Chains A and B, each alone.
Chain A
């Protein structure tokens, strides 16, 4: 088996490639290809295979309701005609991803029937035979090959530092390890159960293509991704503005501003046709059947609640917390009448429909405005002073994080949309590495409540320690020196205290029964601080770079 592996690796190790300058604008400042030393990338399959073994050993771990969601979708797409896919509601987990994902489930179902035909019966709700579990888990592990390929492409695009280093100190090795062994992805995909590896693989491949100057491919991949999971609309502004500015305008003026005369209608049409054709492939059949409104209503359900049942660690978690604290304080200080406050705001925990007592209520439109305001400066900066593909990547991370911070009914898993692409920047700049460590550690810790079973507690703690230890030591070694100031370090160490408090101390205390939501609240609010802080730092660094560019032009 390993002899075969040796043969295979010599086939797939790819020789270094030249830069493609033709399709990018002049300010494409980041396409130096890393030349792997002596084409020895044998470590890459080892890393990938290693994490795949880990994923396989987690096959029998706890899985969430998302497991049933996907089983149901396999059943729907296999057993029912296309016209019924978005109408079917035997199960509460109706199809709420765009059509391309439905086709993905359909193709999986053809393999599934060889494992256990019963899982494809729509009425078999909560069907979990061993064969079903094996199939579903393996499908996630196998589709991760897209992610593995994308990581390889990203590693090839990373800037190489001069000077010989041992393998473990190379940026591309560190990036591969940080992505392939990402804690968040492991526990969300391979324990909780989702297909994020496959989806983020497409996203990272799209980013890699942009870094390599292959913009049309990048655009195609992103359009496909949007039609697989519409949550990626969060980062569509970054793509839209970048492609418009840096791809449709082929040249810039010497001061970096737009040269309107260099607008290329051909390129715009090319982009447009990609978007339209993919959209047509995806939504076409449903438009033809007149089901578009139904599909859209499934994709964008009016979900009640500013926050998910567990508050994602964003601005609204802090907002809710402040409101709660003020109302408690107000009652204590006799400034407020308890009777006038919304019911259950005093003792109620994390409810989806959170009624604010003191601070004004927040509606979906307000969150949209806040989100747009939060990403506007970043998007404007890549319009006014584009910094090539890396500037686009930074803007993408800011958009993802901004939407996470201010979005309506955000899931905590959405933090991965910021963390994963940010890893590429983290191995190239010292400042980014510092922000990355803050964001990643906090973001990953905020995923802990997803695995609430006692049996999985050691797994999540061990894997978190593994990833955190590796990220800290490798980045510290890469950038030679401490990356965090004492305050940040103290905050992160505080996460240990929060964990012990929430998972050990509190369950043994008398309040566990009267106020069971407190650990979730504490986790959410504590992590919000870290995530908000990282967001601000990221923005500061982006605007500072923008300022430096402007200064250079003067």
Chain B
């Protein structure tokens, strides 16, 4: 079958899974007075539609910042405004100032879910397809499988279509940045990433790799000539994009300060909610590879490529990141989608990417570990890894079951969320260490040129 039809089938399947999850509950459903992230997004539509721009980030009589005040950069606000205009056309009650607070209805839920789907379809999904086809290796079949597996990542589906958020926009824009940079269009790539950053400030985690890559590229091209020109082009692009995004706020330094204060509240911790865990986990999956060879190639290895290259560790990491959000999913009433999407993701990615077959010491690049474990030369590290994986998945399943079925002891009411957190962070640490070691230890010759593959 031709590629386009296979990819379309994968995308359709991914969209069906997403919408099916969205039929379930959302964050804060039926829980006044504060509700949850769903209400926050609706409230931002209300605020941006009814109030002038200079009041969006300020505490006024009409805008109580304690009730889900805007705390994302301006692009989120503009997106909310766009959605609000559409909402007003369909049913003005949804964005009525003050009166629409806590509004919940069948039609409104459909509308909100539809906005997530549209954003996903326009931004994230095309980036995934382009990434898999232009920047990853393997046969066409493997690329199609990669598309499917990325689209089935449960964490993103459950957070965006269950809990309710728009991570697909910021992640999608960042992924566009990666794709475009991979194709050699640096200015456009930096533009995409700046847009992503202006949608969610968490993208700062990804900014270091982008910055280092582009700076390194400029250095390589020689700061006396081409490199400087490129540096200037990129700097101008970044500044102009920032300026355009922050345009309404540039007139008054007080505005800028207030927005920054909202984005980076010193009073609160950076990891306010479990949702931050996704960022913590996903951010570390973007690595830079500086190769000091004649055809210097700075190489991005986001999780997508890792899925292709090192399927088992990538799947393990992604599943651990989903598992880490279990307490949140339970709170939102998303147990069934969590179980089904996790099982489906594990099954499809292991089967389609033959993860358990590519489990030799060599394929997993466990050389450094071999050197560390010099006292046990006969141990088959590949097999050990496989069994650790099984044990880990079983433990995750067990902990999930216990969180649902058992009541925690009275003196330790948060026992299960704590166990989940500790378990997940141990995984993150271990797998982070592994990815770093693999990256550092990889010999330079293994880098291939990025080629624009035509299908």
Chain A interface residues toward B at CB < 8 A: 1-3, 5-6, 46, 49-50, 53-54, 56-61, 134, 168-169, 454-455, 458-459, 462-463, 465-466, 469-470, 473-474, 477
Flag whether B185 is at the interface (Cβ < 8 A): no
Known: A2-B356, A46-B351. A462 touches B15 (CB 8 A): yes
Known: A2-B351, A57-B17, A57-B337. A454 touches B1 (CB 8 A): no
- Does B9 lie within 8 Å of A466, measured CB to CB? yes
- Does A473 lie within 8 Å of B12, measured CB to CB? no
Known: A50-B348, A53-B340, A60-B24. A459 touches B9 (CB 8 A): no
- Does B344 lie within 8 Å of A454, measured CB to CB? no
Further pairs besides A2-B356, A61-B20, A474-B1: 13, Cβ < 8 Å: A3-B356, A49-B347, A50-B344, A53-B340, A56-B336, A57-B17, A57-B344, A58-B20, A134-B336, A466-B13, A469-B9, A470-B9, A477-B1
Pick from A53, A455, A458, A477: contact of B347, CB under 8 Å: A53
Flag whether B271 is at the interface (Cβ < 8 A): no
Interface size bucket, B side?
A: 35 or more
Q: Which residues of A contact B59 (CB under 8 A)?
A: none
- Does B20 lie within 8 Å of A57, measured CB to CB? yes
Flag whether B326 is at the interface (Cβ < 8 A): no
In angstroms, how far is the closest chain B Cβ from the Cβ of A509? Answer: 17
Bound complex: CA A459 to CA B12 (Å): 10
In angstroms, how far is the closest chain B Cβ from the Cβ of A336? Answer: 43
- Does B107 lie within 8 Å of A454, measured CB to CB? yes
- Does B348 lie within 8 Å of A455, measured CB to CB? no
Interface centre among A57, A458, A474 (most CB of B within 10 A): A57
In the complex, how many residue pairs between chain A and chain B have their CB atoms under 8 Å apart? 85
In angstroms, how far is the closest chain B Cβ from the Cβ of A109? Answer: 23
Flag whether B8 is at the interface (Cβ < 8 A): yes
Q: Which residues of B contact A134 (CB under 8 A)?
A: 336
Bound complex: CA A142 to CA B62 (Å): 54
**Nearest chain B residue, comparing its CB with the CB of A55:** B340
Bound complex: CA A514 to CA B110 (Å): 26
- Does A455 lie within 8 Å of B110, measured CB to CB? yes
**Nearest chain B residue, comparing its CB with the CB of A474:** B1
19 A-B interface contacts by CB (under 8 A): A5-B347, A5-B351, A53-B347, A54-B13, A54-B16, A57-B21, A57-B341, A59-B336, A60-B24, A169-B1, A454-B106, A459-B16, A463-B12, A469-B5, A469-B8, A469-B12, A473-B2, A474-B1, A477-B1
Bound complex: CA A61 to CA B21 (Å): 9
Q: Which residues of B contact A169 (CB under 8 A)?
A: 1
Q: Which residues of A contact B24 (CB under 8 A)?
A: 60
In angstroms, how far is the closest chain A Cβ from the Cβ of B340? Answer: 4
**Nearest chain A residue, comparing its CB with the CB of B394:** A1
Bound complex: CA A463 to CA B390 (Å): 33
Q: Which residues of A contact B390 (CB under 8 A)?
A: 3
Chain B interface residues toward A at CB < 8 A: 1-2, 5, 8-9, 12-13, 15-17, 19-21, 23-24, 106-107, 109-110, 117, 336-337, 340-341, 343-344, 346-348, 350-351, 356, 386, 390, 393
Bound complex: CA A3 to CA B347 (Å): 10
Bound complex: CA A204 to CA B131 (Å): 42
Q: Which residues of B contact A458 (CB under 8 A)?
A: 15, 19, 117
Q: Which residues of B contact A3 (CB under 8 A)?
A: 356, 386, 390
- Does B350 lie within 8 Å of A2, measured CB to CB? yes
Q: Which residues of A contact B350 (CB under 8 A)?
A: 2
Q: Which residues of A contact B340 (CB under 8 A)?
A: 53, 56-57, 59
In angstroms, how far is the closest chain A Cβ from the Cβ of B335? Answer: 10
Q: Which residues of A contact B109 (CB under 8 A)?
A: 455
**Nearest chain A residue, comparing its CB with the CB of B25:** A60
Q: Which residues of A contact B347 (CB under 8 A)?
A: 1-2, 5, 46, 49-50, 53
Bound complex: CA A85 to CA B175 (Å): 61
In angstroms, how far is the closest chain A Cβ from the Cβ of B90? Answer: 11
Known: A50-B348, A57-B337, A168-B1. A466 touches B12 (CB 8 A): yes
- Does A53 lie within 8 Å of B344, measured CB to CB? yes
Q: Which residues of A contact B15 (CB under 8 A)?
A: 458, 462
Bound complex: CA A149 to CA B393 (Å): 29
**Nearest chain B residue, comparing its CB with the CB of A462:** B16
Bound complex: CA A465 to CA B14 (Å): 13
Q: Which residues of B contact A473 (CB under 8 A)?
A: 1-2, 5
**Nearest chain A residue, comparing its CB with the CB of B349:** A2
Q: Which residues of B contact A1 (CB under 8 A)?
A: 343, 346-347, 393
Q: Which residues of A contact B1 (CB under 8 A)?
A: 168-169, 473-474, 477
Q: Which residues of B contact A454 (CB under 8 A)?
A: 106-107, 110
Bound complex: CA A168 to CA B140 (Å): 13
In angstroms, how far is the closest chain B Cβ from the Cβ of A439? Answer: 21
**Nearest chain B residue, comparing its CB with the CB of A134:** B336
Bound complex: CA A465 to CA B9 (Å): 9
Enumerate the 6 nearest inter-chain pairs by beta-carbon distance, A residue then B residue, closest first: A53-B344, A57-B20, A473-B5, A466-B12, A56-B340, A462-B16
Q: Which residues of B contact A59 (CB under 8 A)?
A: 336, 340
Q: Which residues of A contact B386 (CB under 8 A)?
A: 3
- Does A462 lie within 8 Å of B12, measured CB to CB? yes
Q: Which residues of A contact B341 (CB under 8 A)?
A: 57
In angstroms, how far is the closest chain B Cβ from the Cβ of A185? Answer: 15
Known: A458-B117, A477-B1. A466 touches B16 (CB 8 A): yes
- Does A463 lie within 8 Å of B9, measured CB to CB? no
Bound complex: CA A455 to CA B109 (Å): 9
In angstroms, how far is the closest chain B Cβ from the Cβ of A59? Answer: 6
Bound complex: CA A469 to CA B13 (Å): 12
**Nearest chain B residue, comparing its CB with the CB of A456:** B23
Q: Which residues of A contact B337 (CB under 8 A)?
A: 57
Interface centre among A134, A168, A470 (most CB of B within 10 A): A470
Q: Which residues of B contact A477 (CB under 8 A)?
A: 1
Interface centre among B19, B20, B117 (most CB of A within 10 A): B20
Known: A46-B351, A50-B344. A455 touches B16 (CB 8 A): no
Q: Which residues of A contact B348 (CB under 8 A)?
A: 50
- Does A455 lie within 8 Å of B393, measured CB to CB? no
In angstroms, how far is the closest chain A Cβ from the Cβ of B7? Answer: 11
In angstroms, how far is the closest chain B Cβ from the Cβ of A360? Answer: 45
In angstroms, how far is the closest chain A Cβ from the Cβ of B391? Answer: 12
Bound complex: CA A458 to CA B347 (Å): 25
In angstroms, how far is the closest chain B Cβ from the Cβ of A140? Answer: 15
Pick from A5, A6, A455, A463: contact of B106, CB under 8 Å: A455
In angstroms, how far is the closest chain A Cβ from the Cβ of B105? Answer: 12
In angstroms, how far is the closest chain A Cβ from the Cβ of B272? Answer: 29
Bound complex: CA A46 to CA B346 (Å): 12
Known: A54-B17, A61-B23, A454-B110. A465 touches B12 (CB 8 A): yes
**Nearest chain A residue, comparing its CB with the CB of B148:** A50
Bound complex: CA A462 to CA B21 (Å): 14
In angstroms, how far is the closest chain A Cβ from the Cβ of B116? Answer: 12
**Nearest chain A residue, comparing its CB with the CB of B4:** A473
- Does B23 lie within 8 Å of A455, measured CB to CB? yes
- Does A60 lie within 8 Å of B23, measured CB to CB? yes
In angstroms, how far is the closest chain A Cβ from the Cβ of B204? Answer: 34
**Nearest chain B residue, comparing its CB with the CB of A2:** B350
- Does B20 lie within 8 Å of A459, measured CB to CB? yes
Q: Which residues of B contact A466 (CB under 8 A)?
A: 9, 12-13, 16
Q: Which residues of A contact B12 (CB under 8 A)?
A: 462-463, 465-466, 469
- Does B21 lie within 8 Å of A6, measured CB to CB? no
Q: Which residues of A contact B19 (CB under 8 A)?
A: 458-459, 462
**Nearest chain B residue, comparing its CB with the CB of A59:** B336
**Nearest chain B residue, comparing its CB with the CB of A58:** B20
Bound complex: CA A469 to CA B5 (Å): 7
Bound complex: CA A169 to CA B109 (Å): 42
Q: Which residues of A contact B13 (CB under 8 A)?
A: 54, 466
Q: Which residues of A contact B16 (CB under 8 A)?
A: 54, 459, 462-463, 466
- Does B8 lie within 8 Å of A60, measured CB to CB? no
Bound complex: CA A57 to CA B21 (Å): 7
In angstroms, how far is the closest chain B Cβ from the Cβ of A123? Answer: 28
Bound complex: CA A466 to CA B109 (Å): 25
In angstroms, how far is the closest chain B Cβ from the Cβ of A148? Answer: 15
In angstroms, how far is the closest chain A Cβ from the Cβ of B147? Answer: 15
